[in-house]
Amino acid sequence: MSDHNSLDDIVRYYDDAKESSRLGAGWFQLEQARTQELILRHLPPAPATVVDVGGGAGAYACWLAARGYHVHLIDPVPKHVEQARAASMRQAEHPLASAQVGDARHLPQGDATADAILLLGPLYHLAEREDRLACLREAHRVLRPRGLAWGAGISRFASLFDSLSGGFFDDPAFAPILARDLEDGQHRNSTGNPLYFTDAFFHRPGELSRDFLAAGFQVVEIVAIEGPGWLARDFDRLWNDPLQRERMLAAVRKVEREPSVLGASSHIMAIGRK
């Protein structure tokens, strides 16, 4: 296991970040709606066992538990696990099966015990390929035969689009971060500015597929999560208008597999079958 980008750095970063409310603001709402859509597209009917690895404060884990799934959440950040437990207690009729501190590279679950595994975080936080493959092999071990894994990657080009549309392209502190992102996908933030995220790896869509294949998965599909929708000017106005929201979702769905557009999405989702 590489000690670059150690779990201590991750814990420190999220101690200051507001992960528990992130998905309720701005274009993250599109990320959430599309992620839910892509999960439901392939998930077997409830009850089935789901392990949400890197589940954060429990947004998807609690949503799935409320739909009748047995959901186990794993996350290395103690604050997130406490928030997930609190969210689980608020839905007493449909609590999480468990929520515990842990690392995607060493899951506590037994072999072939899960029907579905969510990896919506670890694959970009683990900067070294050997660690990403260890995470995917663990998911493969824990899945039952023909079980499915959903893995989110951040696009290699996300920080280019984000800096241009977000107005920080000309920050001299950001220039070397962007140059390295575009060079090899290794995102390094030594500025201390949380706007520039934490150390991570940004995938090309083909690299995410290759990681899944190398860990023994068949790739069922590789799709854009937000597509270009996250770059919409005046996102909230469109999202809060039901007609425009549906038009945006339909447009994103229409181009979700278009190779020439995939890298313009902030996140890419690979779905793999054991």
Residues forming contacts to ligand SAM in the complex (CB under 6 A) are 10, 14, 19, 23, 53-56, 59, 75-77, 80, 103-104, 120-122, 125-126
Question: What is the rounded radius of gyration, in angstroms, for the C-alpha atoms of the chain?
Answer: 18
Name which of 105 and 274 has its Cβ closer to ligand SAM. 105
DSSP H or E run through 272: strand 267-273
Min dist. Cβ of residue 108 to ligand SAM (A): 12
Residue nearest to ligand SAM (CB): 121
Mention every residue, 6+ apart, whose C-beta is less than 8 A from residue 67. 46, 94
Q: How many CB atoms lie within 10 A of CB 199?
A: 17
Strands (E), the chain: 49-53, 70-75, 98-101, 114-119, 143-155, 186-187, 200-203, 218-224, 267-273
Q: Cis peptide before 47, with omega less than 30 degrees from 0?
A: yes
Name which of 56 and 185 has its Cβ closer to ligand SAM. 56
Name which of 151 and 263 has its Cβ closer to ligand SAM. 151
Name which of 166 and 176 has its Cβ closer to ligand SAM. 166
Min dist. Cβ of residue 166 to ligand SAM (A): 17
Q: Whole-angstrom Cα distance, residue 24 to residue 206?
A: 30
Name which of 53 and 232 has its Cβ closer to ligand SAM. 53
Min dist. Cβ of residue 243 to ligand SAM (A): 27
Min dist. Cβ of residue 44 to ligand SAM (A): 20
Min dist. Cβ of residue 131 to ligand SAM (A): 7
Helix 28-42 crosses helix 242-254 at what angle (to 10 degrees)?
Answer: 60
Cβ proximity of 252 and 262 under 8 Å: no
Min dist. Cβ of residue 112 to ligand SAM (A): 20
Name which of 104 and 178 has its Cβ closer to ligand SAM. 104
88: which strand partners?
none
